[in-house]
Amino acid sequence: MLSEAQKEHEMVSEESGGGGEGGRGCGRSCLSKCCLRQGAKLLLYCFSKIDEDLCLPVPKVQPRVSFLDRLLEEWDDRKVRGLFHHDIAACETKVLPGKHNFIIVLIEGRDLKKRPTEFRIDEVLQPFDGDKFNFTKIGQEELIFRFEESSNGKAGYFQSAPIMSSSSPNIIAINVSPIAHGHVLLIPRILDFLPQRIDCQSFLLAMYMVKAARNPYFRMGYNSLGAFATINHLHFQGYYLEVKFPVEKAPTQIIATVGSGVNVAELLEYPVRGLVFEGGKNMLDLSDTVSSACIFLQESNRPFNVLFSECGKRIFLLLQMFSAMP
Protein backbone atom coordinates (compact mmCIF):
# COMPACT_ATOMS: atom_id res chain seq x y z
CA MET A 1 0.00 0.00 0.00
CA LEU A 2 1.07 3.58 -0.56
CA SER A 3 2.26 5.69 2.33
CA GLU A 4 0.30 8.72 3.52
CA ALA A 5 2.90 11.04 1.99
CA GLN A 6 2.45 9.37 -1.40
CA LYS A 7 -1.34 9.59 -1.13
CA GLU A 8 -1.08 13.36 -0.67
CA HIS A 9 0.62 13.81 -4.01
CA GLU A 10 -1.66 14.98 -6.79
CA MET A 11 -2.47 12.22 -9.29
CA VAL A 12 -1.06 13.34 -12.60
CA SER A 13 -2.74 12.69 -15.93
CA GLU A 14 -1.83 9.78 -18.16
CA GLU A 15 -0.23 12.27 -20.58
CA SER A 16 2.27 13.92 -18.24
CA GLY A 17 6.01 13.42 -18.62
CA GLY A 18 8.11 10.78 -16.89
CA GLY A 19 11.57 10.49 -15.50
CA GLY A 20 12.90 10.89 -12.02
CA GLU A 21 14.99 13.20 -9.94
CA GLY A 22 18.12 11.72 -8.48
CA GLY A 23 18.62 12.01 -4.77
CA ARG A 24 21.77 12.72 -2.83
CA GLY A 25 23.32 9.53 -1.44
CA CYS A 26 26.48 8.15 -3.04
CA GLY A 27 26.32 10.54 -5.99
CA ARG A 28 25.80 7.78 -8.56
CA SER A 29 21.96 8.02 -8.49
CA CYS A 30 21.76 4.25 -8.03
CA LEU A 31 18.84 2.15 -6.82
CA SER A 32 20.34 1.29 -3.45
CA LYS A 33 19.28 2.67 -0.05
CA CYS A 34 21.91 5.40 -0.17
CA CYS A 35 20.14 7.13 -3.07
CA LEU A 36 16.54 5.86 -3.06
CA ARG A 37 15.99 6.83 0.59
CA GLN A 38 17.83 10.14 0.37
CA GLY A 39 15.32 12.28 -1.49
CA ALA A 40 14.93 10.38 -4.79
CA LYS A 41 11.66 11.25 -6.52
CA LEU A 42 10.56 8.80 -9.20
CA LEU A 43 7.58 8.36 -11.49
CA LEU A 44 5.08 6.05 -9.77
CA TYR A 45 2.39 3.95 -11.43
CA CYS A 46 -0.42 2.78 -9.14
CA PHE A 47 -2.25 -0.35 -10.28
CA SER A 48 -5.81 -1.22 -9.31
CA LYS A 49 -6.78 -4.47 -7.60
CA ILE A 50 -10.53 -3.91 -7.96
CA ASP A 51 -10.87 -5.44 -11.43
CA GLU A 52 -9.02 -8.64 -10.60
CA ASP A 53 -11.48 -11.04 -12.23
CA LEU A 54 -9.57 -12.39 -15.22
CA CYS A 55 -12.83 -13.30 -16.94
CA LEU A 56 -13.89 -9.67 -17.25
CA PRO A 57 -13.54 -8.32 -20.81
CA VAL A 58 -11.09 -5.54 -21.57
CA PRO A 59 -13.03 -2.24 -21.83
CA LYS A 60 -13.53 -1.05 -25.41
CA VAL A 61 -12.61 2.50 -24.44
CA GLN A 62 -9.06 2.68 -23.13
CA PRO A 63 -7.23 5.66 -21.61
CA ARG A 64 -5.54 7.77 -24.27
CA VAL A 65 -2.20 6.72 -22.83
CA SER A 66 -2.42 3.34 -21.10
CA PHE A 67 0.04 1.64 -18.79
CA LEU A 68 1.60 -0.22 -21.73
CA ASP A 69 1.72 2.90 -23.92
CA ARG A 70 3.51 4.78 -21.17
CA LEU A 71 5.91 1.90 -20.52
CA LEU A 72 6.86 1.68 -24.21
CA GLU A 73 7.19 5.46 -24.42
CA GLU A 74 9.61 5.48 -21.51
CA TRP A 75 11.47 2.47 -22.97
CA ASP A 76 11.88 4.28 -26.30
CA ASP A 77 13.20 7.31 -24.42
CA ARG A 78 15.94 5.16 -22.85
CA LYS A 79 16.77 3.88 -26.33
CA VAL A 80 17.24 7.44 -27.57
CA ARG A 81 19.55 8.07 -24.62
CA GLY A 82 21.73 5.16 -25.76
CA LEU A 83 21.31 3.03 -22.64
CA PHE A 84 20.95 -0.31 -24.45
CA HIS A 85 23.81 -2.57 -25.50
CA HIS A 86 22.26 -3.07 -28.94
CA ASP A 87 19.38 -1.87 -31.11
CA ILE A 88 16.88 -4.72 -31.03
CA ALA A 89 14.96 -3.18 -33.95
CA ALA A 90 18.03 -3.64 -36.15
CA CYS A 91 18.47 -7.31 -35.25
CA GLU A 92 17.39 -9.89 -37.78
CA THR A 93 14.29 -11.88 -36.75
CA LYS A 94 13.00 -15.02 -38.44
CA VAL A 95 10.16 -17.46 -37.97
CA LEU A 96 11.53 -20.94 -38.54
CA PRO A 97 9.70 -23.34 -40.87
CA GLY A 98 8.28 -26.51 -39.42
CA LYS A 99 5.56 -27.60 -37.06
CA HIS A 100 6.14 -25.07 -34.27
CA ASN A 101 7.39 -21.98 -36.17
CA PHE A 102 9.87 -21.00 -33.48
CA ILE A 103 11.02 -17.37 -33.49
CA ILE A 104 14.74 -16.64 -33.59
CA VAL A 105 16.50 -13.30 -33.20
CA LEU A 106 20.14 -12.76 -34.17
CA ILE A 107 21.75 -10.48 -31.57
CA GLU A 108 25.44 -10.42 -32.35
CA GLY A 109 27.70 -10.06 -29.33
CA ARG A 110 24.91 -10.24 -26.73
CA ASP A 111 26.70 -13.06 -24.90
CA LEU A 112 29.76 -10.84 -24.54
CA LYS A 113 28.00 -7.63 -23.50
CA LYS A 114 25.35 -8.96 -21.11
CA ARG A 115 26.01 -9.08 -17.40
CA PRO A 116 27.91 -12.24 -16.44
CA THR A 117 26.54 -15.14 -14.40
CA GLU A 118 28.04 -15.10 -10.90
CA PHE A 119 26.53 -18.14 -9.21
CA ARG A 120 26.40 -21.93 -9.38
CA ILE A 121 24.29 -23.31 -12.22
CA ASP A 122 23.29 -26.52 -10.47
CA GLU A 123 21.26 -25.09 -7.56
CA VAL A 124 17.89 -23.40 -8.00
CA LEU A 125 17.92 -21.77 -4.55
CA GLN A 126 20.98 -19.80 -3.53
CA PRO A 127 21.38 -17.00 -0.95
CA PHE A 128 21.54 -13.39 -2.03
CA ASP A 129 25.11 -12.08 -2.20
CA GLY A 130 25.38 -8.30 -2.01
CA ASP A 131 28.99 -8.36 -3.18
CA LYS A 132 27.91 -9.65 -6.59
CA PHE A 133 25.96 -7.72 -9.18
CA ASN A 134 22.38 -6.95 -8.20
CA PHE A 135 19.80 -4.43 -9.37
CA THR A 136 20.49 -1.89 -6.63
CA LYS A 137 23.75 -1.19 -8.50
CA ILE A 138 22.11 0.04 -11.70
CA GLY A 139 21.60 3.75 -12.31
CA GLN A 140 18.27 5.50 -11.90
CA GLU A 141 18.36 6.35 -15.61
CA GLU A 142 17.56 2.66 -16.26
CA LEU A 143 14.41 2.88 -14.14
CA ILE A 144 11.10 3.39 -15.93
CA PHE A 145 8.81 3.77 -12.93
CA ARG A 146 7.77 2.31 -9.62
CA PHE A 147 4.83 -0.11 -9.56
CA GLU A 148 2.67 -0.05 -6.44
CA GLU A 149 -0.89 -0.82 -5.41
CA SER A 150 -3.34 2.08 -5.56
CA SER A 151 -4.80 3.25 -2.25
CA ASN A 152 -8.16 4.25 -3.76
CA GLY A 153 -8.75 1.55 -6.37
CA LYS A 154 -7.93 3.83 -9.29
CA ALA A 155 -5.01 3.26 -11.63
CA GLY A 156 -2.82 6.21 -12.57
CA TYR A 157 0.47 8.01 -12.11
CA PHE A 158 2.14 10.07 -9.42
CA GLN A 159 4.71 12.46 -10.80
CA SER A 160 8.03 12.41 -8.91
CA ALA A 161 6.62 10.71 -5.82
CA PRO A 162 9.09 10.52 -2.92
CA ILE A 163 10.21 7.22 -1.42
CA MET A 164 9.72 6.95 2.32
CA SER A 165 12.67 5.85 4.44
CA SER A 166 10.99 2.61 5.52
CA SER A 167 9.73 1.46 2.11
CA SER A 168 11.15 -1.06 -0.34
CA PRO A 169 9.65 -0.13 -3.72
CA ASN A 170 8.74 -2.36 -6.63
CA ILE A 171 10.79 -1.22 -9.61
CA ILE A 172 10.29 -1.52 -13.37
CA ALA A 173 13.59 -1.00 -15.19
CA ILE A 174 14.86 -1.57 -18.71
CA ASN A 175 16.77 -4.69 -19.63
CA VAL A 176 19.93 -3.20 -21.14
CA SER A 177 20.38 -6.34 -23.26
CA PRO A 178 16.84 -6.61 -24.72
CA ILE A 179 15.52 -9.52 -26.75
CA ALA A 180 12.34 -7.69 -27.84
CA HIS A 181 10.80 -4.23 -27.94
CA GLY A 182 9.82 -3.00 -24.51
CA HIS A 183 11.95 -5.58 -22.70
CA VAL A 184 11.83 -4.62 -19.02
CA LEU A 185 12.47 -6.06 -15.58
CA LEU A 186 10.03 -6.10 -12.67
CA ILE A 187 12.05 -6.11 -9.44
CA PRO A 188 9.79 -6.66 -6.41
CA ARG A 189 10.74 -4.90 -3.16
CA ILE A 190 14.18 -4.07 -4.46
CA LEU A 191 15.64 -3.05 -1.10
CA ASP A 192 14.68 -6.35 0.55
CA PHE A 193 17.52 -7.99 -1.44
CA LEU A 194 15.46 -11.06 -2.35
CA PRO A 195 17.25 -13.88 -4.22
CA GLN A 196 15.81 -15.30 -7.44
CA ARG A 197 13.14 -17.29 -5.67
CA ILE A 198 9.37 -17.33 -6.23
CA ASP A 199 7.08 -16.27 -3.39
CA CYS A 200 3.31 -15.86 -3.55
CA GLN A 201 3.36 -12.08 -3.03
CA SER A 202 5.88 -11.35 -5.79
CA PHE A 203 4.20 -13.75 -8.21
CA LEU A 204 0.89 -11.94 -7.70
CA LEU A 205 2.64 -8.62 -8.36
CA ALA A 206 3.79 -9.93 -11.76
CA MET A 207 0.19 -10.99 -12.45
CA TYR A 208 -0.99 -7.44 -11.77
CA MET A 209 1.62 -6.03 -14.11
CA VAL A 210 0.73 -8.24 -17.07
CA LYS A 211 -2.95 -7.52 -16.42
CA ALA A 212 -2.30 -3.77 -16.30
CA ALA A 213 -0.88 -3.93 -19.84
CA ARG A 214 -4.26 -5.13 -21.16
CA ASN A 215 -2.61 -6.40 -24.33
CA PRO A 216 -2.04 -10.09 -25.18
CA TYR A 217 1.20 -9.26 -26.99
CA PHE A 218 2.79 -8.10 -23.74
CA ARG A 219 4.00 -11.09 -21.75
CA MET A 220 5.73 -11.57 -18.45
CA GLY A 221 8.21 -14.32 -17.75
CA TYR A 222 10.33 -15.79 -14.99
CA ASN A 223 13.54 -17.83 -15.21
CA SER A 224 14.76 -19.73 -12.19
CA LEU A 225 18.44 -20.15 -11.46
CA GLY A 226 19.66 -22.98 -13.65
CA ALA A 227 17.05 -22.14 -16.31
CA PHE A 228 18.61 -19.05 -17.93
CA ALA A 229 18.43 -16.57 -15.06
CA THR A 230 21.77 -14.73 -14.89
CA ILE A 231 21.21 -12.47 -11.85
CA ASN A 232 20.45 -13.83 -8.37
CA HIS A 233 18.21 -10.92 -7.41
CA LEU A 234 14.45 -11.51 -7.68
CA HIS A 235 13.12 -10.27 -11.01
CA PHE A 236 10.56 -11.02 -13.69
CA GLN A 237 10.92 -10.23 -17.39
CA GLY A 238 8.38 -8.35 -19.49
CA TYR A 239 8.42 -7.68 -23.24
CA TYR A 240 6.19 -6.81 -26.17
CA LEU A 241 6.12 -8.93 -29.33
CA GLU A 242 3.26 -8.86 -31.85
CA VAL A 243 3.23 -12.56 -32.68
CA LYS A 244 1.76 -15.62 -31.01
CA PHE A 245 4.36 -17.81 -29.33
CA PRO A 246 4.65 -21.46 -30.39
CA VAL A 247 3.92 -22.66 -26.85
CA GLU A 248 0.71 -20.60 -26.84
CA LYS A 249 -0.46 -22.51 -29.93
CA ALA A 250 0.45 -25.98 -28.64
CA PRO A 251 -2.42 -28.40 -27.89
CA THR A 252 -3.15 -29.20 -24.25
CA GLN A 253 -5.07 -31.77 -22.24
CA ILE A 254 -6.62 -31.05 -18.83
CA ILE A 255 -5.26 -33.42 -16.19
CA ALA A 256 -6.72 -31.88 -13.01
CA THR A 257 -8.93 -29.17 -11.57
CA VAL A 258 -7.93 -27.90 -8.14
CA GLY A 259 -10.37 -26.81 -5.44
CA SER A 260 -10.44 -23.16 -6.48
CA GLY A 261 -11.52 -24.10 -10.00
CA VAL A 262 -8.12 -23.70 -11.66
CA ASN A 263 -7.69 -26.10 -14.58
CA VAL A 264 -4.27 -27.74 -14.91
CA ALA A 265 -3.38 -29.06 -18.35
CA GLU A 266 -0.28 -30.66 -19.82
CA LEU A 267 1.36 -29.51 -23.03
CA LEU A 268 1.05 -31.97 -25.90
CA GLU A 269 3.19 -32.31 -29.03
CA TYR A 270 5.71 -29.76 -27.77
CA PRO A 271 9.47 -30.31 -27.32
CA VAL A 272 9.51 -29.08 -23.70
CA ARG A 273 7.44 -30.65 -20.93
CA GLY A 274 5.13 -28.20 -19.26
CA LEU A 275 1.85 -27.42 -17.57
CA VAL A 276 -0.76 -24.79 -18.42
CA PHE A 277 -2.89 -23.18 -15.70
CA GLU A 278 -6.08 -21.18 -16.30
CA GLY A 279 -9.43 -20.47 -14.70
CA GLY A 280 -10.24 -20.09 -11.03
CA LYS A 281 -12.66 -17.77 -9.31
CA ASN A 282 -10.30 -14.82 -9.55
CA MET A 283 -6.72 -13.84 -10.23
CA LEU A 284 -5.59 -14.65 -6.69
CA ASP A 285 -6.74 -18.27 -7.07
CA LEU A 286 -4.78 -18.69 -10.28
CA SER A 287 -1.72 -16.91 -8.92
CA ASP A 288 -1.61 -18.93 -5.70
CA THR A 289 -1.99 -22.22 -7.58
CA VAL A 290 0.88 -21.53 -9.98
CA SER A 291 3.17 -19.97 -7.40
CA SER A 292 2.67 -23.00 -5.12
CA ALA A 293 3.75 -25.26 -7.98
CA CYS A 294 6.81 -23.07 -8.56
CA ILE A 295 7.71 -23.17 -4.87
CA PHE A 296 7.49 -26.98 -4.92
CA LEU A 297 9.82 -27.16 -7.93
CA GLN A 298 12.41 -24.76 -6.56
CA GLU A 299 12.46 -26.50 -3.19
CA SER A 300 12.98 -29.78 -5.10
CA ASN A 301 15.91 -28.20 -6.98
CA ARG A 302 14.10 -28.40 -10.33
CA PRO A 303 14.80 -25.46 -12.68
CA PHE A 304 11.83 -24.00 -14.55
CA ASN A 305 10.46 -21.11 -16.59
CA VAL A 306 7.13 -19.33 -16.31
CA LEU A 307 5.26 -17.49 -19.07
CA PHE A 308 2.35 -15.18 -18.18
CA SER A 309 0.13 -15.20 -21.28
CA GLU A 310 -3.13 -13.58 -22.40
CA CYS A 311 -2.98 -10.78 -19.83
CA GLY A 312 -2.50 -13.34 -17.07
CA LYS A 313 -5.39 -15.61 -18.04
CA ARG A 314 -3.05 -18.50 -18.99
CA ILE A 315 0.17 -19.34 -17.18
CA PHE A 316 2.72 -21.76 -18.65
CA LEU A 317 5.09 -23.61 -16.32
CA LEU A 318 7.94 -25.20 -18.30
CA LEU A 319 10.21 -27.82 -16.75
CA GLN A 320 13.91 -27.55 -17.54
CA MET A 321 17.20 -29.28 -16.94
CA PHE A 322 20.13 -27.32 -15.56
CA SER A 323 21.46 -25.14 -18.36
CA ALA A 324 25.14 -24.96 -19.22
CA MET A 325 25.80 -21.23 -19.03
CA PRO A 326 29.28 -19.67 -19.24
The answer to whether the CB of 156 falls within 8 A of the CB of 150 is yes
Which are the contacts of 4, defined by CB distance < 8 A and separation ≥ 6?
Answer: none
Taking 60 as the threshold, does the pLDDT of residue 19 lie above it? no
Residue 26 resides in a domain = no
Sign of CA dihedral 170, 172, 178, 180: positive
Give the DSSP H or E segment for 266: strand 262-267
Instruction: Tell me the pLDDT band of 56, cut-offs 50, 70 and 90.
Output: very low
Pairing assessment for the beta strands 218-223 and 184-187 based on DSSP bridges? unpaired
Higher pLDDT, 115 or 200: 200
| pLDDT tens string 175-187 | 999 999 999 999 9
Q: Where are the beta strands (DSSP E) in 74-155?
A: 92-95, 103-106, 143-149
Given this model, what pLDDT does residue 108 score? 84
Count: domains in the chain: 1
Residue 304 resides in a domain = no
Residue 44 resides in a domain = yes
Residue 10 resides in a domain = no
Q: Kindly state the average pLDDT of the residues 186-193.
A: 97
- R_g of the chain computed on alpha carbons: 19
> Is 9 one of the catalytic residues?
no
Instruction: Tell me the pLDDT band of 39, cut-offs 50, 70 and 90.
Output: low
- Considering the candidates 9, 85, 233, 235, report the single residue annotated as catalytic: 235
Taking 70 as the threshold, does the pLDDT of residue 60 lie above it? no
Residue 299 resides in a domain = no
Given this model, what pLDDT does residue 154 score? 85
Taking 80 as the threshold, does the pLDDT of residue 62 lie above it? no
Residue 296 resides in a domain = no
Residues in the chain: 326
Which range marks the domain in which residue 145 is found? 40-49+65-244
| Chain centroid offset of residue 181 CA | 14
The answer to whether the CB of 205 falls within 8 A of the CB of 284 is no
Taking 90 as the threshold, does the pLDDT of residue 2 lie above it? no
The answer to whether the CB of 202 falls within 8 A of the CB of 287 is no
Taking 50 as the threshold, does the pLDDT of residue 44 lie above it? yes
Instruction: Tell me the pLDDT band of 7, cut-offs 50, 70 and 90.
Output: very low
11-25, 144-158, 199-213 — most confident range: 199-213
The answer to whether the CB of 170 falls within 8 A of the CB of 145 is no
Which are the contacts of 290, defined by CB distance < 8 A and separation ≥ 6?
Answer: 203, 277, 306, 315, 317
Given this model, what pLDDT does residue 23 score? 45
Residue 120 resides in a domain = yes
Residue 259 resides in a domain = no
Q: Kindly state the average pLDDT of the residues 113-121.
A: 73
| pLDDT tens string 224-277 | 999 989 899 999 999 999 989 999 999 999 999 997 899 999 999 999 999 999
